Structure 1
């Protein structure tokens, strides 16, 4: 299921999205959350516009079918816009550990929506076991206070909403069967997310008059705008097209791993033995869902005569 190209897309998406949580921790201390999201996608839209102007023709960008429009709306409004608005606002009310666990319900929810809306994105029993292992691994890495999961006020419902919109939107993109490339849909979708985020920021009454943006917050904005607001989404939506929504969203199990390593390397946070064990559990779950768990055996059967692999040794 995973080729060299899909593996590269998976790795780029997971690493850049994981860095978002490290950058957000620095930026949200100085910038209101919805305005932070809006400016993030303003920057991303400018980067993608420059990319499109130099690399894509109008014929490649022009929507032609209803599926193209649905794909653009699902990309910009649901997967990027609503998901990030709910995620960034929800993080104000809970710890990063609780946020990681709740949002990591995304890969669990994706096959549920896929089963309802698609005919070819169904998981086996082994796949569901892998999903459960992945979630358990995230819980080990994040190590949240159990009482915070039920006492997080608005935080947990908002983060659950983010997981739902992210999972549903990814499935809708597959269902849309668009003729546009994932790159073109992203070029249209990120500006839509910026417009939606500005509208939500204005509606929420966020005050930005006299806002002071120190260098650390500016660096955070540039990171989430360019790297996780443009490049990561180009890779992520290409991954959905290359594989399927269920397997593409497995990357969100690895986001807390990247965040934990980034926090250790850049912010001086500690990595416990429990977190390291969680990394291993996540990886085993990933192997089960992705279908890579049997790869070593398949390779062995290709290079070793069958009688040495399959025969009864007794």
Structure 2
């Protein structure tokens, strides 16, 4: 079962990553996608550098082994940099609903790579059913038309590539077995992602010299830079360390829920009864795929007969 710390990391990651789709939809109306990603991680890198300078020593941050280097590269190049570059470029061609459905394949792809690269990771039949329900729930929430899924041009292949890259990178991080903490890998990885995104932006010929950035785009940049570009990745990689890539990536089933609610609250998008039904299906799929009980472990501990008997005995002794 999720420990309370892991549950907090899960919720923080899902909520902050879910807000990314809303902020991206706003920011992409004013900024080229790769440059948007690059500036996002410029901001995130500054925030993380300030955090590291005040909360970590050089001994905590210094890579020592090849596993440390591999973990940093997988974090910065695969999970953060390339995934977001593909995601933001792909979102230009499709609706946010289609993007949510395609990227929700991430939790299904993760155990495939884990089974190939990690000998201790195997998915149960219950997990397979849960993941299928998760995708079904995401489809109900996003409710894209078949023509939108099949007629998105480059959008769907790019988003699928983003899901593949993210899932593969998360498993590679576990495989690397780095001695560095997830926080240290994130501190190194985000600026590495910024360099990669700036390089891709320049190679794609994105013109930024004549850009005008209105306040709404600045707000979107600050959100994706600070909240989902620094804080969310610190929480996410700590969750991968604590629970493994397969369970951690189940959070991406909840990202469309946050996006749908955020779009309804902030952008005036509709929230249909079908979407609400999808929320329930996602939750059931999550419970099955994660192997958890609905009640968190600390609740179970409080109500087990053994625990209650011990507490009564302790109270009697004190009397």
With normalisation by structure 2, the TM-score equals 0.93
Partner of 1:14: 14
Q: Determine whether 1:126 maps to 2:126.
A: yes
Q: Determine whether 1:177 maps to 2:177.
A: yes
Partner of 2:304: 302
> Any residues of structure 2 matched to 1:1-314 within 5 Å, and which?
1-293=1-293, 299=300, 302-303=304-305
Retained in 2: the 8 A contact 1:111–1:246?
yes
CA apart distance, 1:242: 0.3
Q: Kindly provide the CA deviation profile for residues 54-112 of structure 1, in whole angstroms up to 9, marking residues without a partner as x.
A: 00000000000000000000000000000000000000011111110000000000000
Count the aligned residue pairs.
305
- Determine helix, strand or coil for the equivalent of 1:144: coil
Q: Kindly provide the CA deviation profile for residues 157-211 of structure 1, in whole angstroms up to 9, marking residues without a partner as x.
A: 0000000000000000000000000000000000000000000000000000110
CA apart distance, 1:238: 0.2
CA apart distance, 1:235: 0.2
CA apart distance, 1:272: 0.5
CA apart distance, 1:290: 1.4
Runs of 4+ residues over 2 Å off in structure 1: 293-304
Partner of 1:312: none
Q: Which runs of 5+ in 2 are unaligned?
A: 307-319
Retained in 2: the 8 A contact 1:110–1:171?
yes
Retained in 2: the 8 A contact 1:137–1:281?
yes
Provide the rounded CA distance (Å) in 2 between the counterparts of 1:288 and 1:294. 10
Across the aligned residues of Structure 1 and Structure 2, the Cα RMSD in angstroms comes to 1.7
Q: Kindly provide the CA deviation profile for residues 93-132 of structure 1, in whole angstroms up to 9, marking residues without a partner as x.
A: 1111111000000000000000000012211100110000
CA apart distance, 1:29: 0.2
Provide the rounded CA distance (Å) in 1 between the counterparts of 2:294 and 2:52. 40
CA apart distance, 1:303: 3.4
Provide the rounded CA distance (Å) in 2 between the counterparts of 1:218 and 1:84. 19
Retained in 2: the 8 A contact 1:250–1:286?
yes
- Determine helix, strand or coil for the equivalent of 2:254: helix
CA apart distance, 1:294: 6.7
Provide the rounded CA distance (Å) in 1 between the counterparts of 2:168 and 2:267. 33
Retained in 2: the 8 A contact 1:2–1:290?
no
CA apart distance, 1:302: 2.7
Q: Which runs of 5+ in 1 are unaligned?
A: 305-314
